[in-house]
Amino acid sequence: MDRSTVTDTASTPANHAVSGRLDGLTRWEADWAGLRVVVTGITKTGFSAADTLAELGARVVVVAASDDDAARHAADTLKMVGVHEVILGEAGSTVLPLVDGEPAELVVTSPGYKPSHPLLAAAAHAGIPIWGDVELAWRVRIREGRRTAEWITITGTNGKTTTTTMVEHMLQAAGLRAIAAGNIGTPILDAVRDPDGWDALAVELSSFQLHWTRSLEPVSSVCLNLAEDHVDWHGSFEAYAADKAKVYANTKVACVYNAEQIETERMVEGADVREGCRAVGFTTGMPAISMVGVVEGLIVDRAFIAERKDSAVELAHVSDIAELVPRHLVANAAAAAALVRAYGLTPENVRDGLRAFESSEHRIQPVATSGGILWVNDSKATNPHAASASLAAFKPVIWIAGGLSKGVEYDELVRTHAGRLKAVVLIGEDSSALAGALSRHAPDVPVIETGRAQTDKEGMVETPIFGDVVMAQAVAAAAALAADGDTVLMAPASASMDQFSSYAHRGQAFIDAVRELLERRASANKES
């Protein structure tokens, strides 16, 4: 089969006809049959997109750079359910293929593919529309004989998963059939294809997913916060922010913004929303009118009550959230409360949902307290903004940090929290950017580097150190520095993939290393 790239057809009558056909694809029973689609990726997102399109009767070609056992197994499964062709391997994944010898009419891409990827760039040049899995899910969500869920959409640099989970629990506390989906847990296409349907979906959206959306109409939406992240994918911070702002487009009831970060309020001001949609703020302080905030340890609502000009209604106690409640977790709860109040939930639903919520693993997770030292795992702090929220909660801190920086800068982070730092233990194959910021803004704070590549006795052979060994070294170094009243905080402010398989792997390695250290100490004390 000819797999060459298609020619530039952006201005041809045929291409305009395709565009018109796509505009009509807004429910499951629409005319999807025979639509020529290229799907990129074959892991969870790509697989669910290809499977859905095949079920709809589209002609589908899947391309993926991977060619391992898992990819080949997925390819065999997709062919059995009606996918026309699967092209595996790095070479084939960079070329926009033909579908049954004709140009594709649509590309559905997985979030990992950058807009600059050669295949997507070729599609854009040819005028072929590009959707993400979220856009496809929105268009097939309406199906005859099945309930259609309202969507509550959540994005932000940090806190997305926590807030989405809180929303899920609040909806369920109201007796609704609801689930968290999207960038968390269940792929969004799997959720919308559930045979019983849902009353509501709490949809976590990454900036990658939002980049490819255009049609969503959520009942309520939020961008929790905005800080530099994923510049390598988007090309610039401005492009990243613009994609985050798309969460507010077409919102029907309430655009929820962070009253403590003006950038999110400006996103709402610039959003094209449905008539009657309101702007509702959330804050960890005293709320103004049309806000949800905190008063004397209570989360309160001054937005969704008739008497909001001079009173507020209690939603929950801050202590309902978790055992350890840093400020950012309170902010997440206030945002979640605003989102579900827009949906129509009662104060009791908000309270019961927060009580059912369990803070996610690897996000400011207390691991142990021994000898007056608190050990905290925040491996999910994969960027400076997330790490800043962790550092703000503790003092004095022995900070374990470093890893894959993703092109971000650390000067503001270190400058802000230098006074909290007792010492820093660096991990990561290359933490030079963080080390440089520490030398500039915290020159008196001791810095210990661990987990770097080692050489043999002649200094000739480099042996990288990965995973559990890296973390064991870092924990031992931190333990040697810590004393009664200190917190050892593992909040790397960096991605994990240089030395670990994921942030979860990194977090579990920290937990295991701390427990092993404390067990050895306890055993030694018994023997003595």
Binding-site residue ranges for ATP: 156-162
Residue 423's DSSP bridge partners are 398
Q: What is the DSSP string of 22-48?
A: HHT--STTSS-TT-EEEEE--SHHHHH
Using alpha carbons, select from 158, 198, 157 the residue that is nearest to residue 179. Answer: 198
d(CA 18, CA 455): 60
Report how far apart the first and last C-alpha atoms of the chain are (Å, whole number): 75
Indicate the SS3 state at residue 274: coil
Q: What is the DSSP string of 138-152?
A: HHH---TTSB--EEE
d(CA 77, CA 496): 31
The DSSP 8-state label assigned to residue 246 in this structure reads G
Distance of CA 265 to the CA centre of its chain: 21
Instruction: Tell me how many degrees the CA angle 317-218-166 measures, rounded to the nearest 5.
Output: 25
d(CA 89, CA 291): 51
Binding site listing? 156-162
Beta-sheet strands, E only, within 350-471 = 365-370, 373-377, 397-401, 421-426, 447-449
Using alpha carbons, select from 211, 212, 156 the residue that is nearest to residue 184. Answer: 156
How deeply is 520 buried, as exposed, middle or buried, from its count of CB atoms within 10 A (0-12, 13-18, 19+)? exposed
